[in-house]
C-alpha cells in the first residue's frame, strides 16, 4: 500500500518533488495551510520540510507539522535550504532542533523518531558555525570534502540525528557510521529543484523503514536515476551532432523523472558506488 508523504516545500520545486514521490509509488500531499497541516501530518507516513523560498505561512505550518510528527514519531526530513545565507532560516532550523532536543530529554517517554537533516556543505557548516556565511543557496566550492565529512559527523553526533551532506560526493552519517556515495552526474546540478527532489525521495524511503540504510538507498536511487538519464540521452543524441552530444536541461529533467519510475533494487545493487569510512 502506498504511503502518504507530507511535503511542505517551496513552489519552485513543488511539482518535481510530488512527481518524484509518485515515481516511487507513494502519494504526495503538499499542504501548507497552518489550519490543516496538523491533521494531514497525523495521517502521513513521513514529513518533509524544505526551507527554500520561505514565507511566514510556511514557517508557521512547518512548526505545527514538525511538532505533530515528533509526537507521532514519524520520520522527518529537514532540508536546510539557504541557512548559510539567511539568519532567519538558520534561527528557524535551530528552533526546530531545540524543540526536538527538549522532547528527547523528556524521561517520561522513550523517543523513537527518526530525524534526517539534509543540506549542501555550506548549509551543514552554517548549522555548526554561527559566524559562517555562504552566498545564496549553492554549495561552497572552497570547502574541502574532508571538512564536510567532519562537519557532518559532528552535527549528527551533537543532535543524535542522521545528516546527509549532498554534493558531488554525498556524505551520509549518524555520527557512528559514515558513508560516502559517489553516484550522480553533473547535469543534476544544472536543473533547479533536484536537491529538493532528493529530500522528497528520502522521506518516501524512510516511510517504509526508518534507518540509515534507507537514506543510503534513497541517495543511491536518485543518483543512479541521474546516471541512467544521462546515458540514455547521450545514446539517443550521438547521431544528431558531429563529435559532441549536448544534453539539454529540459530533456534531462524529463528523462530523470522517467528513470525514477523504473530504477529498482537490482539496479541499485549493481550500480551503487559506496564507501564506508
Q: How far apart, in whole angstroms, are the C-alpha atoms of residue 270 and residue 260?
A: 16
| Three cell numbers written together for 143 | 570547502
User: What phi, psi does 27 have (nearest 5°)?
Assistant: -115, 115
List C-alpha distances in Å: 210 to 114, 136, 264: 6, 31, 19
Return d(Cα 130, Cα 36) in angstroms, integer.
34
Task: Please tell me whether 166 is known to bind a ligand.
Answer: yes
Nearest-angstrom CA–CA distance, 7 and 21 = 10
- β-pairing, 46-50 vs 27-29, is unpaired
What is the CB neighbour count within 10 angstroms for residue 55? 11
Q: Is 82 annotated as a binding residue?
A: no
Q: What cell does 113 get? A: 523518531
Residue 7, C-alpha cell as written in the block: 511535503
Mapping DSSP to helix (H, G, I), strand (E, B) and coil, where does residue 123 land? helix
Q: Is 167 annotated as a binding residue?
A: no
30 is in an annotated binding site: yes
Annotated binding site for substrate: 30, 193
Going by the annotation, the residues of the binding site are 30, 118, 166, 193
Q: Which residues are annotated as a binding site for ATP?
A: 118, 166
Amino acid at each position: 500500500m502506498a504511503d502518504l508523504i507530507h511535503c511542505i516545500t517551496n513552489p519552485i520545486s513543488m511539482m518535481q518533488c510530488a512527481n518524484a514521490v509518485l515515481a516511487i509509488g507513494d502519494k504526495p500531499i503538499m499542504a501548507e495551510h497552518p489550519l490543516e497541516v496538523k491533521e494531514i501530518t497525523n495521517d502521513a507516513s513521513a514529513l518533509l520540510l524544505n526551507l527554500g523560498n520561505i514565507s511566514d505561512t510556511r514557517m508557521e505550518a512547518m512548526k505545527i507539522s514538525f511538532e505533530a510528527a515528533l509526537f507521532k514519531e514519524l520520520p522527518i526530513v529537514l532540508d536546510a535550504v539557504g541557512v548559510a545565507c539567511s539568519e532567519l532560516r538558520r534561527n528557524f532550523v535551530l528552533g526546530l532542533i531545540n524543540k526536538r532536543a527538549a522532547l528527547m530529554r523528556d524521561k517520561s517517554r522513550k523517543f523513537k523518531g527518526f530525524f534526517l537533516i539534509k543540506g549542501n556543505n555550506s548549509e551543514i557548516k552554517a548549522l555548526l558555525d554561527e559566524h559562517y556565511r555562504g552566498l545564496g543557496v549553492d554549495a561552497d566550492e572552497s570547502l574541502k570534502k574532508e571538512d564536510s565529512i567532519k562537519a557532518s559527523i559532528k552535527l549528527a553526533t551533537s543532535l543524535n540525528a542522521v545528516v546527509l551532506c549532498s554534493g558531488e560526493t554525498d556524505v551520509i552519517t549518524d555520527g557512528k557510521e559514515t558513508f560516502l556515495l559517489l553516484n550522480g552526474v553533473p547535469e543534476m546540478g544544472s536543473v533547479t529543484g533536484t536537491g529538493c527532489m532528493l529530500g522528497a525521495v528520502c522521506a518516501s524511503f524512510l516511510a517504509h523503514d526508518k534507518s540509515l540504510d534507507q537514506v543510503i538507498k534513497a541517495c543511491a536511487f536518485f543518483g543512479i536515476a541521474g546516471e541512467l538519464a544521462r546515458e540514455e540521452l547521450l545514446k539517443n543524441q550521438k547521431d544528431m551532432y558531429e563529435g559532441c552530444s549536448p544534453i539539454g536541461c529540459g530533456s534531462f529533467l524529463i528523462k530523470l523523472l522517467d528513470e525514477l519510475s523504473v530504477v529498482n533494487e537490482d539496479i541499485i545493487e549493481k550500480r551503487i558506488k559506496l564507501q564506508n569510512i
